[in-house]
């Protein structure tokens, strides 16, 4: 059943979880501290792996069911400023606030629901960007069944907001297809692995180098971001205790630039569908 309050609570909890579970209070941006690659590698190397258990990604349904039929529903997706670290540098809405706009990655939908970078808005739509046109986006879900994800898309701040964890998963299901292939189902055996790479300061806050790769061209431009620590569902190198049976992992690469070469340490093989989901970038 669809419940707006529940979704709001869940999304708030989710966003909060993403911030807390990564153990960071802020993304360091405005002051460009000199941090060497060696220093960030040492921080990454000092972290103990497999301390935290892999968390589940909270789920909300974008549909309602009744009499064995599915009908479209509404999702409330967005940022809740009260849960957000306001120390993160933001665009310049005249009255303050954090600009954001949701982009459903790989979704098939009309342009005005695509999350144009200048279609940002602040809390309660009190301020909006130059191409903002509507509060509600419509996703027709004509995409084949699979794993999509959504993320912030605000101009200039996408990289920062994503680094801070403003991402979520979006699943289009085809129960007939799942049954046909006898795919593992249920939250325990049909799980998301949302991959990302980040770099940290010693105190656990996220580090983003803000010096340009080629300063003579631009002091801050960087075509790609690579972190030293691999994050799964908001946790650094988590573990998951599994049963001796088949699992379905819905793997999404939310990194800016890093590709992943995945394998099982015991050498077991696995079937990979839709390898495109492993390609990075926003």
Our finding on whether 132 is near Cu ion (CB under 5 A) is no
Minimal distance, residue 127 CB to Cu ion, in Å? 24
> What are the angstrom distances between the C-alpha of 61 and each of 10, 185, 239?
11, 16, 27
Q: Please, which residue, 54 or 277, has the CB nearer to Cu ion? A: 277
Closest-by-Cβ residue to Cu ion is 105
Q: Please, which residue, 128 or 161, has the CB nearer to Cu ion? A: 161
C-alpha 27/C-alpha 34 separation (Å) is 15
Q: Residue 230 belongs to what H/E stretch?
A: strand 229-232
Q: Please, which residue, 44 or 169, has the CB nearer to Cu ion? A: 169
Q: Please, which residue, 40 or 253, has the CB nearer to Cu ion? A: 253
Our finding on whether 282 is near Cu ion (CB under 5 A) is yes
Site string for Cu ion, 99-118 (x = CB under 5 A): ------x-------------
Instruction: Kindly give the residue spans of alpha helices, DSSP state H, lying in the chain.
Output: 4-21, 37-46, 158-163, 175-180
Asked whether the beta carbons of 242 and 273 are under 8 A apart, the reply is no
Minimal distance, residue 153 CB to Cu ion, in Å? 7
Our finding on whether 63 is near Cu ion (CB under 5 A) is no
Question: 66: which residues sit within 8 A by CB, 6+ positions away?
Answer: none
Q: Please, which residue, 105 or 250, has the CB nearer to Cu ion? A: 105
Which residues contribute to the site for Cu ion (CB under 5 A)?
Answer: 105, 282
């Amino acid at each position: 059943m669809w419940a707006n309050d529940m979704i709001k609570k869940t999304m708030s909890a989710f966003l909060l979880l993403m911030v807390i579970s990564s153990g960071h209070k802020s993304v360091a941006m405005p002051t460009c501290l000199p941090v060497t690659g060696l220093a960030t590698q040492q921080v990454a190397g000092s972290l103990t792996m497999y301390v935290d258990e892999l968390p589940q990604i909270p789920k909300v349904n974008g549909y309602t069911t009744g009499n064995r039929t599915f009908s479209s529903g509404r999702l409330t997706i967005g940022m809740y400023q009260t849960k957000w670290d306001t120390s993160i540098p933001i665009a310049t809405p005249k009255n303050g606030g954090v600009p954001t706009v949701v982009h459903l990655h790989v979704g098939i939908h009309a342009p005005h629901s695509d999350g144009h970078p200048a279609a940002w808005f602040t809390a309660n739509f009190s301020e909006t960007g130059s191409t903002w046109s509507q509060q509600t986006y419509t996703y027709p879900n004509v995409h084949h069944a699979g794993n999509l994800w959504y993320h912030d898309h605000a101009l200039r701040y996408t990289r920062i907001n994503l680094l801070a964890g403003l991402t979520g998963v979006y699943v289009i299901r085809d129960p007939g297809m799942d049954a046909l292939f006898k795919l593992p189902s249920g939250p325990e055996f049909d799980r998301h692995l949302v991959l990302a790479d980040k770099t940290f300061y010693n105190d656990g806050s996220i580090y983003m180098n803000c010096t340009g790769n080629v300063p003579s061209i631009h002091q801050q431009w960087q075509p790609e971001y690579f972190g030293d620590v691999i994050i799964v569902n908001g946790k650094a190198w988590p573990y998951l205790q599994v049963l001796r049976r088949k699992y379905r992992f819905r793997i999404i690469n939310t990194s800016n630039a890093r590709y992943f070469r995945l394998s099982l340490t015991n050498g077991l093989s696995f079937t990979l569908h839709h390898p495109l989901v492993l390609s990075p970038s926003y």
